[in-house]
C-alpha cells in the first residue's frame, strides 16, 4: 500500500461478534488471528486454541501500511480476524489488509467484547436439583447457579454478570436467596454484594475470610465446616478446605463438590496470593486439605472448580467438571509426598493475576470500585492455579 493512501469510508470491513468467533473455535474451524494490541497486552492474555493460529503485531506499527515482514506471516488462503482492545484499531488494520487483497474481518468490541462472553451449561449429575455452570473463556472463571423449587443460590458470582444470574433464575421460576463466595477472590470482582441488592439474597462467606478485614456496608453471614444452607429442598454443606487461602471453603450438593480454587480439573491451587511470605505453610495446608478432606471422598464425586485453563478438557456435558477418581489417576501431583508436593507447587508458579491487590481490596470492601473500573481490573487470565507443567500424567 502506498503511504498516505486514503481509505474509502463508505466500505466497511466485515466484523465478527465475539460469540460467533467463539463458536467457530469450539466447532474446530481453523482460525487465524492478527492481534494488533501491544506486545505486553498480548503476552498477558490472548485467544488461544489448538485450531487457532495467531500473530501479534501492534497497530501503531501499521499506521503507514502493512510491512513485508508481517505479510509473509499472514495466510492468503484463510480468513484473517484482526482484533485489538476495543474494536476501533482492528477495523483500521483490517481495512489495510483488505486493500492488500486478504480475506479479512475484525473482532467487534475487541478483547473487551471477548471478556463479555459468559456461557451457560447444565451439569449432568444424578440430582433433581438444577445445577448450571457459567463459563467465562477470557479469564477461565466459573460460576454456578443452583436451583431447587423457587429458590436459587449462586456460587462465586462475577459482578459483571449479576443481571444474567438474576434473569436466568427468574426464567427457571426462582429467586436468588443466597450469594455465596468460596473465598476472597484475587482475580475477579465478586458479585455477592450486587446480588444482595436483589430482595432476599443473603451474602454467605467462609468464617475465616472475615478475619481478613471485610468492610461491607451490607449484612453478611459467615459459615464454618459442617454448616448447612438450604435452597428449596436442597442442602448445601460447607466443607473447610484451606490452602489457596486460609478462608477457602468448598460447598457440597449431593455428589457435586464446588471446590473454588482448591482443586481444578487440571491443576491445584497456588498458595501465595493471600500472603506471599506464608506460601510454604499454605502449600502444606493445601496438601493436608487435599489428602485429608477431598481425596477421601467417593471416586464418583464431581469436582466443580472456580476456574479452568487452556489445558482443561470439557466433560461430556460441556462443563469443566471431572470425577474425583479420574483426577487422582491423571494428576501426578495428587499422589506425591507432602514436602515433594510443596516444593513442586512453589517451584514454578505463574505470574500473579493482574491488579490482584486492588481486586482483593475491592472484594474485602476496603476499596470502592465502580462497575467500569471493576471490569477493567479483571481483564486477563486468572492465574490462580499452580503451574500446569507436569501436573498430569500420560
So what's the pLDDT on residue 286?
96
Is 24 noted as a catalytic residue in this protein?
no
pLDDT per residue as tens digits for the range 224-234: 999 999 999 99
119-377, CATH topology level:
Metallo-beta-lactamase; Chain A (3.60.15)
Give ∠ CA 107-111-115 in degrees, rounded to 5: 120
Question: How far is it, in rounded angstroms, from Cα 13 to Cα 93?
Answer: 10
So what's the pLDDT on residue 393?
38
So what's the pLDDT on residue 388?
52
Q: Which one is catalytic: 24, 84, 141, 384?
A: 84
Print burial letters for 115-132: b (CB count within 10 Å at least 16), e (below 16): beebeebebebeeebbbb
Which residues of the chain form CATH 3.40.250.10?
Answer: 15-114
So what's the pLDDT on residue 4?
40
pTM over 0.85: yes
Burial of 190 (0-12, 13-18, 19+ CB in 10 A): buried
Residues of the chain short of pLDDT 50, as ranges, are 1-10, 389-394
Cα dihedral angle (227, 233, 234, 237), rounded to 10 degrees? 10
15-114, CATH topology level:
Oxidized Rhodanese; domain 1 (3.40.250)
Which residues of the chain form CATH 3.60.15.10?
Answer: 119-377
228-231 vs 234-240, strand pairing mode = antiparallel
pLDDT per residue as tens digits for the range 271-286: 998 898 999 999 999 9
Q: For residue 394, give the C-alpha cell.
A: 500420560
Question: How far is it, in rounded angstroms, from Cα 158 to Cα 378?
Answer: 10
Cβ(182)–Cβ(188) below 8 Å: no
So what's the pLDDT on residue 11?
63
Cα dist. 371→95, 181, 220, 364 in Å? 33, 19, 21, 16
Amino acid at each position: 500500500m502506498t503511504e498516505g493512501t486514503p481509505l474509502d469510508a463508505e466500505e466497511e470491513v466485515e466484523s465478527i461478534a465475539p460469540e460467533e468467533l467463539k463458536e467457530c473455535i469450539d466447532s474446530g474451524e481453523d482460525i487465524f488471528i492478527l492481534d494488533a494490541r501491544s506486545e505486553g497486552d498480548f503476552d498477558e492474555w490472548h485467544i488461544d486454541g489448538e485450531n487457532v493460529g495467531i500473530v501479534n503485531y501492534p497497530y501503531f506499527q501499521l499506521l503507514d501500511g502493512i510491512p513485508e515482514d508481517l505479510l509473509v506471516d499472514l495466510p492468503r488462503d484463510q480468513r484473517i480476524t484482526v482484533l485489538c482492545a476495543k474494536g476501533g484499531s482492528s477495523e483500521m488494520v483490517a481495512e489495510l489488509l483488505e486493500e492488500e487483497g486478504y480475506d479479512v474481518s475484525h473482532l467487534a468490541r475487541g478483547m473487551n467484547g471477548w471478556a463479555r462472553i459468559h456461557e451457560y451449561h447444565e451439569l449432568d449429575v444424578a440430582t433433581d436439583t438444577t445445577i448450571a455452570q457459567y463459563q467465562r473463556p477470557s479469564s477461565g472463571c466459573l460460576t454456578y447457579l443452583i436451583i431447587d423449587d423457587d429458590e436459587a443460590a449462586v456460587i462465586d458470582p462475577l459482578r459483571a454478570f449479576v443481571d444474567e444470574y438474576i434473569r436466568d433464575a427468574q426464567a427457571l421460576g426462582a429467586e436468588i436467596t443466597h450469594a455465596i463466595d468460596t473465598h476472597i477472590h484475587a482475580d475477579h470482582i465478586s458479585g455477592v454484594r450486587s446480588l444482595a441488592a436483589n430482595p432476599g439474597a443473603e451474602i454467605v462467606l467462609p468464617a475465616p475470610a472475615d478475619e481478613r478485614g471485610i468492610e461491607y456496608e451490607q449484612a453478611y453471614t459467615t459459615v464454618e465446616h459442617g454448616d448447612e444452607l438450604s435452597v428449596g429442598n436442597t442442602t448445601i454443606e460447607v466443607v473447610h478446605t484451606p490452602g489457596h487461602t486460609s478462608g477457602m471453603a468448598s460447598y457440597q450438593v449431593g455428589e457435586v463438590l464446588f471446590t473454588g480454587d482448591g482443586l481444578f480439573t487440571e491443576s491445584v491451587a497456588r498458595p501465595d496470593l493471600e500472603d506471599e511470605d506464608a506460601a510454604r505453610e499454605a502449600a502444606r495446608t493445601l496438601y493436608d486439605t487435599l489428602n485429608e478432606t477431598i481425596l477421601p471422598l467417593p471416586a464418583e464425586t464431581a469436582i466443580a472448580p472456580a476456574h479452568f485453563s487452556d489445558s482443561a478438557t470439557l466433560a461430556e456435558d460441556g462443563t469443566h467438571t471431572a470425577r474425583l477418581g479420574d483426577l487422582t489417576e491423571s494428576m501426578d501431583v495428587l499422589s506425591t509426598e507432602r514436602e515433594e508436593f510443596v516444593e513442586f507447587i512453589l517451584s514454578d508458579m505463574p505470574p500473579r493475576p493482574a491488579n490482584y491487590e486492588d481486586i482483593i481490596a475491592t472484594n474485602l470492601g476496603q476499596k470502592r470500585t465502580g462497575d467500569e473500573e471493576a471490569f477493567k481490573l479483571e481483564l486477563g487470565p486468572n492465574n490462580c492455579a499452580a503451574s500446569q507443567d507436569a501436573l498430569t500424567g500420560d
